[in-house]
A and B are shown apart, each in its own frame.
With several copies, the nearest count.
Chain A
Amino acid sequence: MAMRVARELQDGFYVNLGIGIPTLVANFVPDGMEVMLQSENGLLGMGEFPTDETIDADMINAGKQTVTAVKGASIFSSAESFAMIRGGHVDLTVLGAFEVDVQGNIASWMIPNKLIKGMGGAMDLVAGADNIIVTMTHASKNGDSKLLDTCSLPLTGKGCIKKVLTDLAWLEIQDGAFVLKERAPGVSVEEIKEKTQGKLIVPDHVPEMQFN
């Protein structure tokens, strides 16, 4: 999945990667292309994890992991960081979700009757970005679809998602439907249909994903 997301990168993109799968995207940036990672606690130009020698408690990312800064990085307050995010200056945001629906709604932070830990920066990220990729499994462990007609969980953002990448498919949300753009290698259109609860448009030809 991270490899597929990497194909959406463009040279010179400022990118915010959520915690989990999105973080892995950094490992698949194509050769000759550079992206700069924004971390919403206040770092533009996040680098690799430090070594035991260079680790520094004052240098962390939004997931609270110890990190480094690349050459040319800048560090600023949380207000400045979210000015960048809210103001639409980040070129691409990649984050996980529990559910998305055909209206582009996303639910990613709260499961009623389970302990609520908070939304962190996710609501700001989905409200601020024009270009968001949601990465998640297509269905739950029980086989329940996460691509729905209407999100059942409380929302993180309304009408803000246009691109969804799952373990099965690459889909785009257009005019109240999921449009199936690509299949994951070896996955059939039938399986995707079966596991998509929301309205799905299947073009005549659905290519397999290509990776760089």
Chain B
Amino acid sequence: MAGFDKVVGSYEEAMAGIEDGMTIIAGGFGLCGIPENLIAEIKKRQTKELTIVSNNCGVDGFGLGVLLEDMQVKKMVSSYVGENALFEKQLLNGELEVELTPQGTLAEKMRAGGAGIPAFYTATGVGTPIAEGKEVREFNGREYLLEESIRGDFAIVKGWKADRYGNVIYRHTAQNFNPLAATAGKITVVEVEELVEVGELDPAHIHTPGIYVDRLIVGTFEKRIEKRTVTESA
């Protein structure tokens, strides 16, 4: 079934076609469930002037943070940033633009982008700085903001297991923004920890159906922990 085999042979092939100035939607929350190797490939390619849509921007030296090192990012669309010094420096210097977007609105913008919904209303942000320039409209006596959806030239996604058709499942809270990002890329690239046989994943429990996935690659992951918190072992 060659036509549905999404597996590519290398990270180079996985990110083929990425160009300066493109918009990239990335899955992940903090450093959890981030497409580590696809980000590294973007760094290797030195693609510039990127707009990156991702809840966070990694940390110094890891995750999306590495794309700051060579000034590859023009703009971040995120809900929470600045966990790293380089980010702060570039922001203060005006070398980097940030569009802060409430986390739920960001998730819904990705989902809407993938689902052919150009805009939706939400109460989130009414009366706050993020309402500036946006339509406010009343439904049933309450005010809501109009928010437009987001699509990316590429979506980069980290899954757990996938089959060759691109059916993907995510592990624990590494799911987060990944299935949403997966729907919203003109080209959606997914990297996973394990390739399984077609038919092995339960059809009713696939998080991302293969129809959303253009390219698939199996990688190895560092999975760095940002805030290690433990209780004493019993």
Direct contact of A and B (CB under 8 A): yes
- Residues of A participating in the B interface, judged by any CB pair closer than 8 Å: 10-14, 33-36, 38-45, 48-53, 55-61, 63-67, 69, 71-90, 105, 110, 115-124, 127-128, 154-159
Are B30 and A64 in contact, with the CB atoms below 8 A?
A: yes
Given contacts A48-B231, A58-B173, 12 further A-B contacts (CB under 8 A): A58-B171, A83-B183, A84-B212, A115-B91, A119-B102, A120-B103, A124-B102, A127-B123, A127-B125, A128-B124, A158-B126, A158-B128
Bound form: Cα–Cα A128–B33 in Å: 26
Asked if A105 meets B127 with Cβ closer than 8 Å, knowing A73-B203, A75-B203, A76-B209, the reply is yes
Q: Is B73 among interface residues, defined by CB-CB distance under 8 A? A: no
Are A117 and B3 in contact, with the CB atoms below 8 A?
A: no
CB distance from A133 to the nearest CB of B (A): 19
Are B227 and A159 in contact, with the CB atoms below 8 A?
A: no
Closest to A118 in B: B80
Are A41 and B116 in contact, with the CB atoms below 8 A?
A: no
Bound form: Cα–Cα A66–B126 in Å: 32
Bound form: Cα–Cα A59–B171 in Å: 8
CB distance from B191 to the nearest CB of A (A): 14
B115 contact set on A, CB distance < 8 A: 82-83, 86-87
Are B103 and A77 in contact, with the CB atoms below 8 A?
A: no
Are B171 and A51 in contact, with the CB atoms below 8 A?
A: no
Contact of B229 among A38, A66, A155 (CB under 8 A): A66
Bound form: Cα–Cα A87–B212 in Å: 10
CB distance from B158 to the nearest CB of A (A): 10
Are B180 and A77 in contact, with the CB atoms below 8 A?
A: yes
A39 contact set on B, CB distance < 8 A: 173
A10 contact set on B, CB distance < 8 A: 3
- Residues of B participating in the A interface, judged by any CB pair closer than 8 Å: 1-4, 29-33, 55, 78-83, 88, 91-92, 98, 100, 102-108, 110-111, 113-117, 122-130, 160, 163, 165, 167, 171-180, 183, 198-199, 203-204, 206-207, 209-212, 223-234
Contact of A58 among B117, B174, B180 (CB under 8 A): B174
Bound form: Cα–Cα A64–B227 in Å: 6
- 27 pairs from A and B in contact (CB 8 Å cutoff): A11-B3, A36-B4, A36-B165, A45-B203, A52-B230, A56-B172, A58-B33, A72-B165, A72-B167, A74-B167, A76-B209, A79-B111, A80-B209, A85-B116, A89-B114, A105-B127, A115-B88, A115-B91, A115-B92, A117-B80, A118-B100, A119-B100, A123-B105, A123-B124, A127-B123, A128-B104, A155-B129
Asked if A79 meets B108 with Cβ closer than 8 Å, knowing A12-B4, A34-B3, the reply is yes
B55 contact set on A, CB distance < 8 A: 78
Are A85 and B104 in contact, with the CB atoms below 8 A?
A: yes
CB distance from A160 to the nearest CB of B (A): 9
CB distance from B213 to the nearest CB of A (A): 10
